[in-house]
Structure 1
């Protein structure tokens, strides 16, 4: 059994911070669950271009406000507590923070390793088992 407190990720390598968001990565690929689980905060007044070509993601909004806009059709969706969205077709989109920090719970499949950030196209890289093994051996 795995039991963790998200607070234990603060200030560790499992807390990734960019200019537009902070992600506390609680379950990762190394945990062997087949998905990863994250608590992410989108900072107010920001915009992040995202296009997960290698991952599916489901996002449950639990606090704050924001907006998601799908690039293919320009549709905009208000985000707030109780709203869930799933990027089931690798939907390219803009994620915007509103007036308050938007706190969300995210699940990724395949699972993230923990250090991923968006590249210039909004993509997270897909890390293969060989790359994961190599990284772990170098860290040891």
Structure 2
């Protein structure tokens, strides 16, 4: 059994911050935990916009606080995100994620992240293989 608390992650290598300061990701489960997915709590800070295109990963996200929007660049649709909203990037959609109030998000990635990933120029996390 794995049990982790947020307070135990903050300030460790599992507490990953965007270089531009737009978000922080607290990574509860990673590939080394052998669960087949990774599990994160991510905060997207108010007033920021982040371009993302996860070409190597599928992601599901559940909002547990804050307010913002996701703009699907494939369809042009924009969806409001508030507490209780879930979205899944099941087709590797290019998108903008914007926060009007700090967004607190619970995220699951498949395949699992190794822990140190940050977005590259294309908005993706690299696929790190054994």
**Higher strand proportion:** 2
What is aligned with 1:83?
85
What is aligned with 1:94?
96
Shift of 1:7: 1.6
Runs of 4+ with deviation above 6 angstroms: none
Shift of 1:4: 0.8
Deviation digits for residues 26-79 of structure 1, max 9, x if unmatched? 000000000000000000010000000000000000000010001112110000
Larger Rg: 1
What is aligned with 1:40?
42
TM-score by length of 1: 0.90
Mapped to 1, the partners of 2:58 and 2:31 lie a distance apart of 14
Gaps spanning 5+ residues in structure 1: where? Answer: 130-140
What is aligned with 1:11?
11
Deviation digits for residues 76-105 of structure 1, max 9, x if unmatched? 00000000000000011000011x210000
